[in-house]
Amino acid sequence: MSVTAAQGFEAAGVASGLKSTGKKDLAVVVNRGPLKVGAAVFTSNRAKANPIIWSQQAIADGVVEAVVLNSGGANCFTGSFGFQTTHQTAEKAAELLEVSPGDVLVCSTGLIGTGDEVFRGKVLDGTAAAIAELSAEGGAAASLAIMTTDSKPKRAVVTDSGWTIGGMAKGAGMLAPGLATMLVVITTDAVLDSAEADAALRRATGVSFDRLDSDGCMSTNDQVTLMVSGASGVRPDPDAFAQALTAVCADLARQLQGDAEGASHDITIEVTHAASEADAVEVGRSVARNNLFKAAIFGNDPNWGRVLAAIGTTAAAFDPYDVDVWMNGVRVCTAGGPDAPREAVDLTPRATHLIIDLRVGEATATILTNDLTHDYVHENSAYSS
């Protein structure tokens, strides 16, 4: 399953002591080829963790042999010692796998600012232990080892005519911006070159992970990696591959949304009839980041006034007095004025569907977010303690 569903991949997940609970905390995913193609997208935060700085260099040639991922520490703002830890992690894996260190990506997640000698020792030992356990059935274990506040692992697989895409994810976040660090590894045995892999990955993440905005916060460690083994021997139609990859990414994004820290509602914000897709995204994101709206949804309150107050802060083309708003199938606002009474809206289901009809154009975008809850505050205030 997950990253070992496609042919040509092995994975493992082990407990190296990074998590105080003793649960699995270190994963390795290895591409056995014949192709060793890779592509990756990273957080756009200027405050980048050491693994991001390393992996951005390592991916430049489009070749990836392996990815090492740890939970239990973000290795971010840990100085040159922290960067050396990442470097040594790649070197350790490369030595044991007999590949070049520059073809090993590293991902970390956990608390920022921690990464001492003890942390380094556990990561290096864990890397060796995981490599010793690599197997074509290791995908499930790997998906467990990257979890932090996740309540369950996230996995997705799509199979098309002769080739397969599989992936795993952790976190309840996104790329830009994101929260709680999103780490994703996707593998495929389709035959692609690095330019094709990169293009397909950017296309797929642009309309999936990039539109998941749980709490407006951008992580220092977000990374999505695609590894291509070509082991199926099948060269897919580019559009078919991109669609399948988008389906895997969208599936994983929905799983991340459904397990976001402390959330009690999964909110789908559909912006319609915008002048441009960029406008639609801007409008949707403004609502996804509005604490007052998100707290209202937590309270099952169809407070559409907060929707209009949120979108009024954007530069998108629309007339605030000519906007319609629907909540869970009920039109609560027509042309900027009250329509159906609040009592007509049932917000008790976890799935919440908001439509904002800007009535100016033909573009559409959907943003996924969550409500703002007591549990969100609790989980994020108690995070480091």
305 binds a second copy (CB under 8 A): yes
Residue type for position 276: S
Is residue 181 part of the annotated active site? The answer reads yes
Region binding a second copy by CB under 8 A among candidate stretches 12-20, 91-99, 183-191, 213-221: 213-221
Residue 195's φ and ψ, nearest 5 degrees, are -65, -40
Minimum distance from CB of 129 to a second copy (Å)? 28
Minimum distance from CB of 161 to a second copy (Å)? 42
Number of residues in contact with a second copy, rule: CB under 8 A? Answer: 61
Instruction: Check the annotation: does 385 bind a ligand.
Output: yes
Minimum distance from CB of 375 to a second copy (Å)? 9
Minimum distance from CB of 373 to a second copy (Å)? 6
Instruction: Check the annotation: does 328 bind a ligand.
Output: no
Minimum distance from CB of 299 to a second copy (Å)? 3
Instruction: Check the annotation: does 170 bind a ligand.
Output: yes
303 binds a second copy (CB under 8 A): yes
The 241-280 contact track toward a second copy, x by CB under 8 A, reads ----------------------------------------
118 binds a second copy (CB under 8 A): no
The whole-angstrom separation of Cα 166 and Cα 70 is 20
The residue from 32, 62, 77, 91 that contacts a second copy (CB under 8 A) is 77
**Structure tokens, 278:** 């960029």
The 172-191 contact track toward a second copy, x by CB under 8 A, reads -----x-x------------
Q: What is the C-alpha R_g of the chain?
A: 21
Q: In what order do the strands lie in the sheet with 266-274?
A: 337-338, 330-334, 324-327, 351-357, 266-274, 363-370
Q: Which is nearer to a second copy, 170 or 203 (CB)?
A: 170
Q: Which is nearer to a second copy, 89 or 303 (CB)?
A: 303
**Structure tokens, 83:** 């960067």
Let me know: does 102 contact 61? Beta carbons within 8 Å. Answer: yes
The 306-345 contact track toward a second copy, x by CB under 8 A, reads x-xxxxxxx-----xx-----------x--xxx---x---
291 binds a second copy (CB under 8 A): yes
- Cis omega (within 30 of 0) on the bond before 238? no
Region binding a second copy by CB under 8 A among candidate stretches 64-72, 108-116, 189-197, 246-254: 108-116
374 binds a second copy (CB under 8 A): yes
Region binding a second copy by CB under 8 A among candidate stretches 5-13, 87-95, 117-125, 291-299: 291-299
Instruction: Check the annotation: does 85 bind a ligand.
Output: no
215 binds a second copy (CB under 8 A): yes
21 binds a second copy (CB under 8 A): no
Cβ-proximal residues to 168 (8 Å cutoff; 6+ apart), any chain:
2, 3, 139, 142, 143, 146, 153, 154, 155, 184, 185, 252
Instruction: Check the annotation: does 71 bind a ligand.
Output: no
Residue with tokens 């998906």: 143
Q: Which is nearer to a second copy, 51 or 236 (CB)?
A: 51
The residue from 125, 133, 277, 301 that contacts a second copy (CB under 8 A) is 301
Minimum distance from CB of 18 to a second copy (Å)? 17
Instruction: Check the annotation: does 148 bind a ligand.
Output: yes
What residues form the annotated binding site? 148, 170, 181, 261, 380, 385
Which residues contribute to the site for a second copy (CB under 8 A)?
44-48, 74, 76-79, 111-114, 177, 179, 215-220, 289-292, 295-296, 298-299, 301, 303-306, 308-314, 320-321, 333, 336-338, 342, 372-374, 376-378, 380-385
* Residue numbers annotated as active site: 181
